[in-house]
Structure 1
Amino acid sequence: MNYYIADCHFGDEQVIAYSRRPFHSLEEMDETMVKNWNKVVRDYDDVYIIGDLVSRSQDPLSYLERLKGRLHLVCGNHDGPMLKDPTCRDRFVEVSDYLVVEDHKHRLVLFHYPLLEWDGYYYGTWHLYGHIHNHLSDNQERAKSLFKALNCGADVVGFKPRTFDELVAINKKDRDREKRPEGSV
């Protein structure tokens, strides 16, 4: 099974306030996310991390050793320090800046930042991204307007890796919620 997630920011207490995460402490956030991850992912599953896995941590390997699955990293803007450690880097099946994968019948372009257009855009290819978390912004609105672009940010997908089908449903629900007139349920 393939799973996808972005912007975990393990080890980064500042992300709790920055992204309005529902955690009272760094320890609660990290432990909840590791537990959620390991509930759904098996050792033989492939997990595509679309950037910003571990941030601001003195010991990124302590997180990597606890996460189940075969880890594939598409680098984000906070992954550089972790990747300087060869032991951490070796924990990944692959490390890339931009990755194209097949998931059943779907072709997916994985890149940390949301793109307005990507390889295969006109031929049914999907784009999975992170970086913009759950923030209200012009960029968030632009990205949501792209039908085949899916936000995989931990804040958006419930703080655990998700399958492609789950990502489609979560992003559709999020887009539909925003289209409702104010005051409607």
Structure 2
Amino acid sequence: MNFFTSDTHFYHRDLILGGYFSPRDQFLTVEMMNDTIVANWNARVKPTDTVYLLGDIALAFDNPAKQAMAQTLDLLNQLNGQIVIIKGNHDSAALLKFLRANNQMLAAGRPKFLTHDVGTRLKFAHYEVFLTHYPMLFGITKNKINLHGHIHHASVHHQENLNVGIDSPDRDYLPTGRVPFGAPLSVAEVIDMIVGKRRDYQQRQ
């Protein structure tokens, strides 16, 4: 089963200190934030599932840099499933190289991590789905959808764009209410969001 998420920002202390672009002041410590994301991720993702993580994995500033990368690797290894990473603006090429070099093999010979520098593409439910960190603009189209992150508490004002980040307001298009903080979105939930956002924009016309 496939899942989608973005902008986990593990270890990013500024997010919980307030006054930042995307505050997470519901947490008292960065450890509480990390633990909540891990718990809610693993509550719905099985080891055999695949999660597309669309960038901005972590901001760990421990020195030396290799120690920060090892810290990020340790946390990612706590998460269930194969993780397909799309490079975000806060993800260094060195980090992705480190993850690939320290890859573990999952069941059926699948690597824990796959990485893409720009994006990748899937097809499901008659949609052509482009997975990127930064939002893409298609213009008018019937079956192209862009799942992205990067803009946290904001939403692109086009029905073809869905922000699947863990802070995203587009999650409000889910008919069943909010997904627990940090939990990736299933394909069925993404389809519900596509339909909900299109219905919303059609009603505005």
Please tell me the TM-score bracket, short chain as reference: 0.7 to 0.9
**Aligned CA distance change for structure 1 residues 170 and 13 (closer, same or farther; 3 Å):** farther
State the Cα distance separating 1:123 from its structure 2 match: 4.3
Question: 2:4 corresponds to which letter in structure 1?
Answer: Y
Q: Of 114, 126, 133, which aligns to 1:93?
A: 114
Matched residue, 2:143: 124
Matched residue, 2:64: none
Is contact 2:9–2:58 with CA below 8 Å preserved after alignment? yes
SS in structure 1 of the partner of residue 114 of structure 2: strand
State the Cα distance separating 1:47 from its structure 2 match: 0.4
State the Cα distance separating 1:168 from its structure 2 match: 4.6
Taking the aligned partners of 2:116 and 2:54, their CA distance within structure 1 comes to 10
Within a 5 Å distance, the mapping from 1:17-166 to structure 2 comes to 17=18, 18=20, 19-21=22-24, 22-56=26-60, 58=68, 59-80=71-92, 81-85=94-98, 86-87=101-102, 91-117=112-138, 122-135=141-154, 140=155, 143=156, 145-156=157-168, 157=171, 158-166=181-189
Is contact 1:2–1:103 with CA below 8 Å preserved after alignment? no
**Which range moved further: 15-24 or 60-69?**
15-24
**Aligned CA distance change for structure 1 residues 115 and 167 (closer, same or farther; 3 Å):** same
Task: Mark the structure with the bigger radius of gyration.
Answer: 2
* Superposition RMSD in Å: 2.6
Structure 1 runs, 4 residues or longer, greater than 6 Å off: none
Is contact 1:5–1:162 with CA below 8 Å preserved after alignment? yes
State the Cα distance separating 1:14 from its structure 2 match: 1.3
SS in structure 2 of the partner of residue 155 of structure 1: coil
- Number of residue pairs matched by the alignment: 168
SS in structure 2 of the partner of residue 115 of structure 1: coil
**Aligned CA distance change for structure 1 residues 9 and 33 (closer, same or farther; 3 Å):** same
Is contact 1:5–1:152 with CA below 8 Å preserved after alignment? yes
Question: 1:112 corresponds to which letter in structure 2?
Answer: H
**Residue 10, structure 1, aligned to residue 22, structure 2:** no
Question: 1:11 corresponds to which letter in structure 2?
Answer: Y
State the Cα distance separating 1:153 from its structure 2 match: 0.9
TM-score (norm 2): 0.72
Is contact 2:138–2:160 with CA below 8 Å preserved after alignment? no
Post-superposition Cα deviations, 1:77-132, rounded to whole Å, max 9, x if no partner, equal: 111142242226974134331111123433210110112228xx624111001000
SS in structure 2 of the partner of residue 39 of structure 1: helix
State the Cα distance separating 1:75 from its structure 2 match: 0.7
